[in-house]
Chains A and B, each alone.
Chain A
Amino acid sequence: DTAVSQTPKYLVTQMGNDKSIKCEQNLGHDTMYWYKQDSKKFLKIMFSYNNKELIINETVPNRFSPKSPDKAHLNLHINSLELGDSAVYFCASSHVGGRNTGELFFGEGSRLTVL
């Protein structure tokens, strides 16, 4: 069984469209994340979601909105897609113990291409 699974793996769309990427984890972790990895391979945190508390990286445009229906799911919705949104988006989860961020378990990534 895949621990962290995200769909779709590949997404090609036109500028201006709205799209969503879904993520599910079966590890029982309490915290989930979205990371963006651009063409230069820089892995940047976008969101962290823990027990209904959303922590947002302030550099993320508000066109990006995470939605968590329950502890095992964290979906990413993107409005009005732009060329610069093209990247690989990784979902991850961890068990946060006290003040420590636990080991991250990553999904396989969703490669978004905006034309």
Chain B
Amino acid sequence: GQNIDQPTEMTATEGAIVQINCTYQTSGFNGLFWYQQHAGEAPTFLSYNVLDGLEEKGRFSSFLSRSKGYSYLLLKELQMKDSASYLCAADNAGNMLTFGGGTRLMVKP
């Protein structure tokens, strides 16, 4: 079966750093996606990790450990516009992504 877990909500302060964790158990695994979804909008792509390690892209970085079934999304220099839901999704090699429930991040001044 597929199981993807991430915290439901997180709160952080503008300018700070926040790490959103995701653990997964899937039958078959190619890689791990992170998507951002603002309220009332469609999810948009942030990152895709296939190999173990850290991928950095501007203020956002994503980490993957395949042996531990674990990933995190790191957001630096938080801005108010980063308030959104962050969705972890596993590519289970079946031509479909399985999404976690999403982590709602609230950035406060």
Contact = CB atoms under 8 A, between A and B. Distances in A.
Decide if A and B are genuine partners. yes
B42 A108 contact: yes
B7 interface: no
Contacts of A106: 42-44
A45 B43 CA distance: 14
Nearest to B35: A104
Nearest to A107: B42
A100 B87 contact: no
A43 B42 contact: no
Interface in A86-113: 90, 96, 99-101, 103-109
Interface residues of A, number: 25
A33 B96 contact: yes
B22 to A, nearest CB: 14
A101 B97 contact: yes
Interface string A15-48: 0000000000000000101010000111111001
B16 interface: no
Contacts of A99: 30, 93
Interface of B: 30-31, 33, 35, 37, 41-45, 48, 50, 85, 87, 89, 91, 93-99, 101-102, 104
Interface of A: 31, 33, 35, 40-45, 48, 50, 55, 57, 90, 96, 99-101, 103-109
30 contacts: A31-B95, A40-B101, A41-B101, A41-B104, A42-B99, A42-B102, A43-B43, A43-B89, A43-B102, A44-B99, A45-B97, A45-B98, A45-B99, A48-B96, A50-B95, A55-B96, A96-B95, A100-B30, A100-B31, A100-B50, A100-B93, A101-B30, A101-B93, A101-B94, A101-B96, A103-B48, A104-B35, A104-B97, A105-B45, A108-B41
